[in-house]
Amino acid sequence: MTNQYSSGAPRQPLTIPQLVQLLACGEMREEHGMLRWSSNYAFLVSIAEGDLSVLAVYKPQRGERPLWDFPDGTLCYREVAAFVVSNALGWQLVPPTVLREGSRGLGSVQLFIHNNPEVNYFSLDERFADQLKRFAAFDYVINNADRKGGHCLVDADGHVWGIDHGIGFHTAPKLRTVIWDFAGQPVPEPLLKDVQRVCAEIEDPCNAVRLELDKLLADTEVQALQARMRRLVQRREYPRPGPGPNYPWPPV
């Protein structure tokens, strides 16, 4: 992946494991202010270790807005779980995200993606179809209840990243997304193979991915995740809108 960071000399882009290490163990040195468009408290911060420094989005647990259908204080855990699943699949949809203590207590810390804020899902054309197909499968698998158009960020290399996954992984069907372009169409075989592989990994209680998810989600939520993965592999097609609310509001 590409990333932007500060250092004393040009370097190769950091790998995902290196970024995870930096986000988890680096010093949270300064805050650049609150992100005003977020429904929960979110702060732009610098994470530094040695001569490396990256911008990150810090969402403290105690700044989460209570929801009637999600347990209080769990949104930051779900943010990290979304990265764990995305990373396991190898799809690079969710920026590196960790759970750690910060200046306002425990929270999720996610690599900030430099992007043009005027570009979102509704700006994308057919050149982004393959990336959006991954998003459509991913959002079903994690049961994303809030895929707004503004949650799709395009970096300088044309890679699409997804943010704001705090209300995912519910045990009841809650898929709400603006990405219904592929409803009823076949899921590409390589994506199905990735989902099947990760589903098998999660079956193993000693697997690293399963161990991480067990720290972040309830047992019933992990089981529901596996069930959605198996269902996608069996049906081999993208979900269609159901009888409930299928689109987030506002759409951007």
Please tell me whether residue 16 adopts helix, strand or coil conformation.
helix
143: left (phi over 0), alpha (psi -120 to 50) or beta: left
Q: What share of the chain has pLDDT > 70, as a percent? A: 94
Residue that has been written with the tokens 């395009």 in this structure:
154
Tell whether the model's pLDDT for residue 246 goes beyond 50: yes
Calpha distance 137→167 (Å, rounded): 17
Retrieve residue 138's tokens.
């991913």
- Letter for the amino acid at 14? L
The pair phi, psi for residue 251, each rounded to 5°, is: -70, -20
Local confidence band at 80 (pLDDT 50, 70, 90 cut-offs): very high
Q: What is the pLDDT of residues 128-143, one digit of tens each?
A: 999 999 999 999 999 9
Q: Where are the domains of the chain?
A: 16-235
Retrieve residue 90's tokens.
């190898």
The pair phi, psi for residue 49, each rounded to 5°, is: -150, 115
**pLDDT number for residue 7:** 40
Residue 193 exposure: Cα atoms within 13 Å on the Cβ side: 3
Calpha distance 63→135 (Å, rounded): 27
Retrieve residue 7's tokens.
């250092």
Q: What is the mean pLDDT of residues 202-215?
A: 98
Helix then strand count (H, E) for the chain reads 6, 7
Tell whether the model's pLDDT for residue 196 goes beyond 70: yes
Tell whether the model's pLDDT for residue 2 goes beyond 80: no
Retrieve residue 32's tokens.
């650049």
Dihedral angle over CA of 177, 124, 161, 183, nearest 10: 40
Local confidence band at 11 (pLDDT 50, 70, 90 cut-offs): low
- What's the chain's average pLDDT? 93
What angle (nearest 5°) sits at the alpha carbon of residue 36, between those of residues 181 and 92? 40
What angle (nearest 5°) sits at the alpha carbon of residue 73, between those of residues 56 and 249? 75
